[in-house]
Structures are given as structure tokens and as C-alpha cells.
Structure 1
Amino acid sequence: MKLFSNTITSLEKGLNYSSLKQKVISQNIANEATPGYKAKDVSFKETLQTAVNQGIPAYRTDSRHYEFNISEPSTKGIVTRKNVSFNENGNSVDIDNEMSDLATNQIYYNALTERISGKFSSLQNVIRGGK
């Protein structure tokens, strides 16, 4: 019997993505005046592929089977933005774009936390016997 559904695992991976995106946006904002700094972004496609590769539950029933290792979250999804305009000092951070991305990421994070909170409330209700 599986105690937690795949929904909680998916929500956890979404929170990991949102956390990584928050770190990248924060770095971009912090380096807004740094000469030559290239703005970075998080590639959802690469992050999703990494999550899918790490999220395969497998049990070795024979020593000849491949081992499945689940590693710590990586920064493979971080890419340098291309096709952007540069400031006079060679910096490619657009503060308005970063603040917009920050607000979007905050809404995404809040939606995920609300959903996972609801899942845990449902589990708590079941544990209490519906009372």
C-alpha cells in the first residue's frame, strides 16, 4: 500500500522548481548593476526531464539490474538568457522583467503550497476518522 499519492511528489517537484527559479531571479536582481553580468533563467524543460529521471521508483530484485540513484536537486536547468539586449556596461538584466518573473513565480509557489496544504488536510481528516 502506498501511503502518499504521486500528487504530493509532483507538488514537491514543483516547489523545488519554484525555489530554484526564485534563487536565479534573486541572483539576477542582485547583479543588476554588475558590468558584464548575463541574466540567467531556469529551463522548465530541462528541470522537468531531471525530475522525471529522478522520480522513477525502482527496486532491484537481481544484482544484474541497473541501480537507480536519486540524487540531490541539481542546477542543470539554469541557462543564460539568449536574444536579450545589453545595457551600456554589457549587463543583460532587465529589472522590470525580473520583477514580473518574481511576481509570477510567487503566484505559482502560493498555488502549490495551497494545494499541498489541502492534500495534508485531507490526510489529517482521514487519520482523525472524518471528525
Structure 2
Amino acid sequence: MSDRLFGIHGAALELRSQRMGLITANIANAATPGYKARDIDFGAALAARTGGASRDAAIDGATRFRLPTMPSLDGNTVELANEQMAFAENAVAYSATLSFLTGKVNTITRALKGE
């Protein structure tokens, strides 16, 4: 039912939330020796999700390890500046998707009230 009401935006919000969690884990482990930074290919995950894949299958299939531009001596692949940029970009996109969904919910609420 929610897919018909909200289209891809419900799935997009869910995927952006999961991506935010991965990026946050990368930032938290910036000093952990051997930690391998990961990210979600949002386009691939959304395509899989809208194609009928479950949330977990879409995320698992679109999760990739980041390739560092400068390897570190301890094997950690987190590059803090890149993670912060990805976090900010994802946060803006999350906020935009959430605003769209809020507007959609407000429209439906007004329609149900007969306004």
C-alpha cells in the first residue's frame, strides 16, 4: 500500500537511512587498524528495491568496499574527508526525500479531511 502512495520515495528514504548508518560506521572506525570502509551504491540499491528485491537483498547487493586514494600503513581504508562529504551529500538527499514525503502525507491528510 505504501508503495502505491509514496512511489519510490519510501524505499529511497529507507535506503538513505541505511547508507547513513554505513557512512557513520566508517567515520567511527577512522582510527581502527584494518577497517575497510563500505558504502551503498544508492542507484543500484534503489533499482533492486523497486525491481522487487527485499530491503536487505537490495542493500547487500549494492554494498561496496571503498577504494582509498591513499593507502594507509595500518590497512584502514577510511578517508575522513571523503566520508564527511558522502555524509553531507546523503544528509541533504535524505532531507529532500523526507520533505517530499511530508508534503505527500499532508496532501493525503487534507484530502481525507475534505479540505
Question: TM-score category by the smaller chain?
Answer: 0.7 to 0.9
The reply to whether residue 129 of structure 1 matches residue 114 of structure 2 is yes
Q: Is the 8 A contact 2:16 2:42 kept in 1?
A: no
How many pairs are equivalent? 113
Q: CA RMSD in A?
A: 2.1
Greater gyration radius: 1
The reply to whether residue 37 of structure 1 matches residue 32 of structure 2 is no
- The 5-angstrom pairing of residues 44-59 of structure 1 reads 44-54=42-52
Give the structure-2-normalised TM-score: 0.85
| Structure 2 unaligned residues grouped into runs of 5+ | none
Identity %: 27
Partner of residue 90, structure 1: 75
Offset of 1:83 from its aligned partner? 5.3
- Give a deviation string over 1:54-75, Cα, whole Å, max 9, x none: 1xxxxxxxxxxxxxxx644333
The reply to whether residue 73 of structure 1 matches residue 56 of structure 2 is yes
- State which drifts further: 73-82 or 108-117: 73-82
| Structure 1 unaligned residues grouped into runs of 5+ | 55-69
Q: Please list every run of at least 4 consecutive aligned residues from structure 1 whose deviation after the TM superposition is greater than 6 angstroms.
A: none
Give the structure-1-normalised TM-score: 0.75
Distance in 2 between the 1:14 and 1:34 partners? 30
Offset of 1:27 from its aligned partner? 1.2
Distance in 2 between the 1:5 and 1:13 partners? 8
Name the structure with the higher helix share: 2
- State which drifts further: 108-117 or 85-94: 85-94
Aligned partner of 2:86 among 96, 101, 116: 101
